Amino acid sequence: MTDAPTLPNSLRSGPDDRGHFGQFGGRYVAETLMPLILDLERHYRAAQADPAFKAEFDDLLKNYVGRPSPLWLAQRLTDHLGGAKIYLKREDLNHTGAHKINNCIGQILLAKRMGKTKIIAETGAGQHGVATATVAALFGLPCTIFMGAVDVARQQPNVFRMKLLGAEVVAVESGAKTLKDAMNEALRHWVANVHDTFYIIGTVAGPHPYPQLVRDFQSVIGDEARAQILEAEGRLPDMLIAPVGGGSNAIGLFHPFLDDEGVEIVGVEAAGEGLDGKHAASLAGGRPGILHGNKTYLLQDEDGQITEAHSISAGLDYPGIGPEHSWLHDIGRVRYEPVTDDEALASFQKLTKLEGIIPALESAHAIAAAERIAPTLGKDKIIIVNCSGRGDKDIFTVADALGVRL
């Protein structure tokens, strides 16, 4: 008898075979969807083992999305703050302007593999909707995007983009008419069309295997950043910072570093008007519950009724968070900090003026946290901040908040 090899203690091996990260995650869906979810998992396992799948994914990321995205040393921001050296991972330079496209490429390849002929997605601000409509156009598949009627009204440019790309945009009139309701309606449509329809979920939430596969597709962010910082500095960073709504850009950056003990990791939640008022900070202000197919931290009342989230950033305006983040929070591997609308607005303007980079309001939350933390660290320290998207889509919101009439 030989000794069994000791398995390395890794934080990167989740979820378990039932889709759980600790107590979080899982497959809390209606029976109608369950066989489809199991089928998706089988196809994803097969795709992972198929070199041709990875080759096609990598080729599209390189030649269509424009990867790798640069790792930019933000020298003027660094000098201004007078502390740790700040690098920006430039996901804003991707085709369609954010990290969302990485995941959409991966999922549409899965849809093709499964023989599905129709694509649906939910969207809040419209970024995931635009990215989904983009890959649907590229692959010639009909696409329906569910978007809350309130978001349709306040995000007209993205609605028009999706329509130009050939997508049908359904304005969802139920509930509060925002992202959560769009996801409910997408699930309702999916349940009635399971035979031919693939649902491209936009973040690391939903039933297993979505949180895992979205994370895997987004991990290109962290894999690249790791190689890039080693080349630029010859060592790993001291800290990572990324904004967290559902948390796909954040987990994409974090995951390849989870086992590097020397790398401190900070996720930034949207504190909206402040944690005492309306906000979208599920970890700081919520507790574990079940919604949209997974168990995770949710904003809810004592009876488990979901409460409305608020953030100036539509991409963070969701009352839940991906289950792996809930787990990383509970075990203490990642520290989650709140940033308010006002702080994000100030950082939006500061980064634009200092670096000539207009960040998405989501990304501005991470910049604000970096502004808070960098001055407390020595100049020999290195921080990588995920600039998850560009802010062109947000100029109307920002103008409105600043009292400027366009």
Structure tokens at 209: 């295997």
8-16, 119-127, 141-149, 172-180 -> range binding other proteins (CB under 8 A): 172-180
Q: Does 29 bind other proteins (CB under 8 A)?
A: yes
Q: Does 188 bind other proteins (CB under 8 A)?
A: yes
Report yes or no: 240 and 379 within 8 Å, Cβ to Cβ.
no
Structure tokens at 174: 């139920």
Q: 31 or 276, CB closer to other proteins? A: 31
Q: 193 or 352, CB closer to other proteins? A: 193
CB of 57 to other proteins, least distance (A): 28
CB of 23 to other proteins, least distance (A): 11
- Single out the catalytic residue among 69, 282, 313, 388: 388
- Single out the catalytic residue among 41, 122, 343, 355: 122
The candidate with the shortest Cα–Cα distance to 296, out of 51, 108, 15, 71, is: 15
24-32, 252-260, 365-373, 392-400 -> range binding other proteins (CB under 8 A): 24-32
* Residues 282-301 close enough to bind other proteins by CB under 8 A: 289-293, 298, 300
> Which residue of 10, 18, 231, 403 would you call a contact of other proteins, by CB under 8 A?
18
Report yes or no: 269 and 282 within 8 Å, Cβ to Cβ.
yes
Rounded Cα gap, residues 199 and 134, in angstroms: 15
Structure tokens at 167: 């997508």
Residue 272 Cα to chain centre, angstroms: 18
Q: 78 or 178, CB closer to other proteins? A: 178
122 is catalytic: yes
Q: Does 32 bind other proteins (CB under 8 A)?
A: yes
Rounded Cα gap, residues 79 and 97, in angstroms: 27
The candidate with the shortest Cα–Cα distance to 317, out of 354, 352, 270, is: 270
CB of 393 to other proteins, least distance (A): 27
Rounded Cα gap, residues 98 and 108, in angstroms: 17
Q: Does 278 bind other proteins (CB under 8 A)?
A: no
Report yes or no: 386 and 330 within 8 Å, Cβ to Cβ.
no
Q: Is 216 exposed, middle or buried (0-12, 13-18, 19+ CB in 10 A)?
A: buried
- Backbone phi, psi, residue 69, to 5°: -80, 145
CB of 323 to other proteins, least distance (A): 13
Residue 223 Cα to chain centre, angstroms: 16
Q: Does 30 bind other proteins (CB under 8 A)?
A: yes
User: x/- binding map, residues 304-333, to other proteins, per CB under 8 A?
Assistant: xxx---------------------------
Q: 30 or 55, CB closer to other proteins? A: 30
Helix, strand, or coil here: 20? Answer: strand
In terms of residues, how long is the chain? Answer: 406
- Single out the catalytic residue among 85, 100, 116, 393: 100
- Backbone phi, psi, residue 265, to 5°: -125, 130
Q: Does 195 bind other proteins (CB under 8 A)?
A: yes
Q: 3 or 196, CB closer to other proteins? A: 196
Residues forming the site for other proteins (CB under 8 A)? 18, 26-36, 174-175, 180-181, 184, 187-188, 191-195, 289-293, 298, 300, 302-306
Which active-site residues does the annotation give? 100, 122, 388
